[in-house]
Structure formats: structure tokens, C-alpha cells
Amino acid sequence: MQFALLIFESPEAFAVRNADENDPYLGAWRAYYKALVEADIYVGGNPLQPPETGTTVRLKDGKRRVQDGPFADTKEQLGGFTILELPSLDAALEWAARCPAASIGAVEVRPVSPEYKGRVTG
């Protein structure tokens, strides 16, 4: 089954993206990505632009409410996601723990819901 690793990062971690190639956090990510591909469990994923580039939309009483910024204003923000093909939650937790963001931010593990997607797109 597929699991999404939701990568939550602190402002400091987001700032690293502008750092040079030798930054240890970036290096850790490169090594992590390589390990995922080598283990043949990597399905997809992408980093996201920093939270301040986010725009939140709600429809209230038929009117569009657009708000600058992410949905929840917390210190750690969603910084990216990775989809992995793994047999169990335990395996997913194992890989989440190895993710560089786990040591300075947090990684939420969520199963991807294929049957629901089928009902929406099918």
C-alpha cells in the first residue's frame, strides 16, 4: 500500500533551501532520496514552496474568501511530501524516522486512500 510522508519543517529548515550545496540538511536529503530509490519504494513527491507563498481559499455562503498564507499558522509548516510503496505502517514509520526532517521538524505518516480517489475520479 502507499503511504504519504508529510514533511513538516521549521522556518530554519525552510531557510536552508537558499543555503549552498554543502549544507548538511540538504546533504541528508540527497542521501535519503537515494536510499528511497535504491530500496525501490519511491513513488513520487515534491518539496513545496515556503508557507508564506501559500494562499488559502474557502467558500462561505457562496462567496470566495481568499486568505494570504497557509491554512494553520503554526511554527512547523508542511514543506513537502513523499509517496512511498510499503507493506505496512511499521515500515512507513521506519522510513519516516530516517527522514532528515524527523530530527528537526516532524513527519506525519498517512496512508494514501486509493478507493476514495477511485470514487472521485472514476
Partner 1 sequence: MSGSEQESTHRTIERVARESYGRLVAYLSSQTRDVGSAEDALSNALVAALETWPRDGVPQNPEAWLLTTARRSFIDLVRHRQVAEASEPTLVLLREESKDMTLSPEFPDERLKLLFVCAHPAIDPAMHTPLMLQTVLGLDAARIAHAFLISPTTMGQRLVRAKTKIRDGGIRFEIPQERELPQRLDAVLEAIYAAFGIGWDDMAGVDQRGRDLAEEAIWLARVLLQLMPGEAEVHGLLALMLHCEARRAARRGPDGRYVPLSEQDCQKWSLSLN
- Exposed / middle / buried, residue 48 (Cβ in 10 Å: 0-12, 13-18, 19+): middle
Would you say 31 or 89 has its CB closer to partner 1?
89
Look up residue 8 and give its amino acid: F
Stretch that binds partner 1, among 28-36, 40-48, 54-62, 87-95 (CB under 8 A): 87-95
CA distance 21 to 26: 7
Would you say 26 or 106 has its CB closer to partner 1?
106
Look up residue 73 and give its amino acid: D
Which residues inside 12-31 make contact with partner 1, applying CB under 8 A? Answer: none
Which residues contact partner 1 by CB under 8 A?
1, 3, 86-90, 92-93, 111, 113-115, 118
